[in-house]
Amino acid sequence: MAQAAKRKKAVDYEAKRTRDHDTIRRWAEERGGRPTMVEGTQILRIDFDDPDGSRDEKLVPVSWDEFFRVFDDRGLEFLYQEHTRDGHISRFNKFVYAGTDREQD
């Protein structure tokens, strides 16, 4: 039993990949994230509330529908982490081209 728990914990902090819209939206919203794009591009980002209240001025809020349209049209995957190695909730994420480790451009 302890071995199974240890294995689950080890896997929980490893990066995962998905194209599933519900998984991406759930992950982002659980962490206070919102769908955005870099102004003047189709580069996707999840924007989080910063403790000091600052915001990246180049990020433009978009609807989840628009976000996922671009996500699908560009053939992206969501690379993310549920927890850090020490067990804290992680906000690590990036968008890569499906089947590769190459970040979106």
- The answer to whether residue 103 sits within a structural domain is no
- The answer to whether residue 102 sits within a structural domain is no
- The answer to whether residue 75 sits within a structural domain is yes
- The answer to whether residue 104 sits within a structural domain is no
- The answer to whether residue 56 sits within a structural domain is yes
Decide if 10 contacts 2 (C-beta within 8 A): no
Number of domains in the chain: 1
Closest-CA residue to 83 (of 36, 35, 33, 27): 27
pLDDT at site 64: 98
What domain range includes position 34?
2-97
**Identity of the amino acid at 56:** D
Closest-CA residue to 59 (of 81, 32, 39, 79): 39
Question: pTM above the 0.85 mark?
Answer: no
Measured distance CA(58)–CA(41) in Å, rounded: 10
Q: What is the full per-residue pLDDT of the chain (105 aa) written as tens digits?
A: 445 444 444 456 788 999 999 999 999 999 999 999 999 999 999 999 777 666 677 999 999 999 999 999 999 999 999 999 898 999 999 999 988 778 887
pLDDT at site 1: 46
pLDDT at site 67: 98
pLDDT at site 65: 98
- The answer to whether residue 105 sits within a structural domain is no
53: left (phi over 0), alpha (psi -120 to 50) or beta: left
Measured distance CA(68)–CA(76) in Å, rounded: 10
